[in-house]
Structure 1
Amino acid sequence: MAAKPAPPPPAPRLYLATPMVEDAAALAASLPGLISAHDVAAVLLRLKLTDQRGMISRAKALAQPVQTAGAALLLDGHPELVARAGADGAHLDGVAAMQEHLSELQPDRIGGVGGLRTRHDSMLAGEAGADYVLFGESDADGQRPAPDAIAERLQWWAELFEPPCVGYAASLAEAREFAAAGADFVLVGDVIWDDPRGANAALGDARAAIAQGYQALLVQLAGPAKVGQQ
C-alpha cells in the first residue's frame, strides 16, 4: 500500500509592521479595515521612543482596534511594556534579548525572535521556545542578507523545525519568493506604507504575491509524488 502523502502546509499569512508611530490616532482608524480586508494575522507595532507613559498610551490606543479586527498586536522590542499596553507579545532582537526576556513573555504572551545571523542562533531560538523566528530584517547598520540567502534560510527552517518562520519582505518579489520557500508568515512594512497608491492597494498586491509563491510551493511539493505515480 502506498504511503499517504503528507498534507500540504497551510498558506502563509501576512504580518504587518507599522511605520514608526508617534501619533496613534490615524493608524487606529485605518488598521482594522486593512486587517479585515487582507487577512492580516499580526501587527508589529514600531513605537517612536519617548517616555514610557506615552509609549504605553500609543500602544493601548492600537491594541483594542487591532485585536478586535482579528489580529495579534506585538511590540517591536519593549517587552517590559507588553502587559501594561494590553499587547499580545513582543518581537525580540537577537539571542541576548531572547535569553533575557523570553521567559517574561511566555506562556501567556507571544515571544518572537529576530536578529538571528547564523543557523546556530536560529536553533538556539527554537530550543529556547521562541513562538516564531524571523529572517531577513536589516541589522543596526541597515544591511540585510540577499533575498536568495533569506529564502534558503526559510526553506531550511521550514523543512526541519516546528516553530513558525517569518520572512521579512522588502518587495513584492521577495514576498513571493519567501512564500515559495515555505515561510509561515511574510512580514511587510515600508513596502506597504511607501506605496503612493496607499496601504490598501499595496497589501492587496502583497497578498497576491504570497498566494503566487504558495502555489509555486505546492507545485514543487507535488512534483516528486506525481513522478512516483508514473
Structure 2
Amino acid sequence: MSLTDNRCRLVLIVPDIADAAERARIVGDALKGGDVASVIVPQYGLDDQAFQKHAEALVPLIQEAGAAALVAGDTRVAGRARADGLHVEGNHEAMTEAMEKFSPKLIVGGGNAADRHHALEIGEAKPDYIFFGKLNGDIKPEAHGKNVALGEWWSSMIEIPCIVMGGADPASALVVAESGAEFVALHRAVFEVPERAAAVIAEVNALLDEKAPRFGA
C-alpha cells in the first residue's frame, strides 16, 4: 500500500490554453511531478470540433501518467477520445441521466453542489464522486470556506468520495485534506507558472504525505 492510498489525493484541472499541442505539453510535463488521481478536462470556450482535438491530445498522456482522464462537458467527445469518465456540472437530473447512460462503463461524477440540499439530491444518483466548488473557482489563495465545510460534512457521513476545489495557493490542499475530503482539485495553484507545475505537484504530495490525516486512522 502506497502512502497516497489512505490520504487525500490530487485532482488536476487542465488550464485554458487555446493551442492543443502546447496544452498537452504543459499538462504532460506537470504529470511528471508525482501522484495525481485524476485530471479533469473542461471544454471552456472551445467548439465541439476543437474540444475533440484537445481531448484526443490530452487523454492518452493523462492515462499514461497513471491518472484517470475525466472530460467535462460533451459526452460524445469523452467517448471518442476514450476518456475514463465524465465530469458532470449539471444538477440532479443531469447526473441521474449520465449515470443511467454511462455507468459503470465510465467514471461519472461532479455535480453543482452549492449546498447540502443539492449535494444530497445529487448523491441520490449514486455518482462515483461529488465535486464541491467550481472548476474555475480558485480565485483566492485559500480554498473557499463553504466548499471545505461541505466536504467535511459530506465525508463524515456519506461513503461517496468527494473532491473539494482548492485555492490558488498550493498550501490550500492541506486545508482541504484536513476536512476529511478524499480529493483536492487544483488549477491555478499548479498551472499559474507552467514551468513550475511538476515541482508544485511534487511539493503538494510531499506536504500531504507529511501532514494530511490518514483515512481510517
Range into which the TM-score falls when normalised by the shorter chain: 0.7 to 0.9
- Quote the Cα distance in structure 1 between the aligned partners of 2:82 and 2:148: 33
Q: Pick one of 178, 185, 190 that aligns with 1:180.
A: 178
3-state SS of the aligned residue for 1:20?
Answer: coil
Q: Is the 8 A contact 2:86 2:108 kept in 1?
A: yes
Residues 47-86 of structure 1: CA distance to partner in whole angstroms, max 9, x if unpaired? 3433322221220111111112211111122223211121
SS of structure 1 residue aligned to 2:15 = strand
- Alignment-derived partner of residue 193 in structure 2: 195
Q: Per-residue displacement from partner, 1:130-184 (whole Å, max 9, x unpaired)? A: 11011132689x89x9733322211211111111111110133321111011111
Aligned positions, number: 209
C-alpha change, 1:181 and 1:162, in structure 2 (3 Å) is: same
Query: In the alignment, is residue 61 of structure 1 matched against residue 57 of structure 2?
Result: yes
Q: Which residue of 2 aligns with 1:120?
A: 117
Partner secondary structure for residue 207 of structure 2: helix
Q: What do the CA deviations read for 1:68-109 (whole angstroms, capped 9, x no partner)?
A: 221111112222321112111111113143234332221100
8 A Cα contact 2:33 2:197, kept in partner: no
Richer in helix (by share) = 1
- Do the aligned partners of residues 82 and 158 (structure 1) sit closer, same or farther apart at CA in structure 2, a change above 3 Å counting? same
Of residues 162-171 and 87-96 in structure 1, the stretch that sits farther from structure 2 once superposed is 87-96
Would you say the 8 A contact 1:22–1:48 is kept in 2? no
Check whether the contact 1:36–1:70 (CA below 8 A) recurs between aligned residues: no
1:110 maps to what in 2? 107
Shift in CA distance, 28/139, structure 1 to aligned 2, threshold 3 Å: closer
Equivalence for 2:162: 165
Aligned-pair Cα RMSD in Å: 2.8
Answering whether residue 80 of structure 2 is matched by residue 84 of structure 1, we say yes
Report if the CA contact (8 A) 1:35-1:70 is conserved: no
**Which of structure 1's runs of 4+ aligned residues deviate more than 6 A?**
none
Structure 1 spans left out of the alignment, 5+ residues = 1-8, 223-230
TM-score by length of 2: 0.83
The answer to whether the 8 A contact 1:21-1:46 is kept is no
Q: Percent identity among equivalent residues?
A: 31
| Match runs of 1:41-52 below 5 Å | 41-52=37-48
Q: Distance in 1 between matches of 2:18 and 2:199?
A: 24
User: Quick one: higher RCO (CA 8 Å, sep 6+), 1 or 2?
Assistant: 2
Amino acid at match of 2:48: Q
Structure number with larger C-alpha Rg:
1
Within 5 Å, give how 1:132-151 maps onto structure 2. Answer: 132-137=129-134, 147-151=144-148
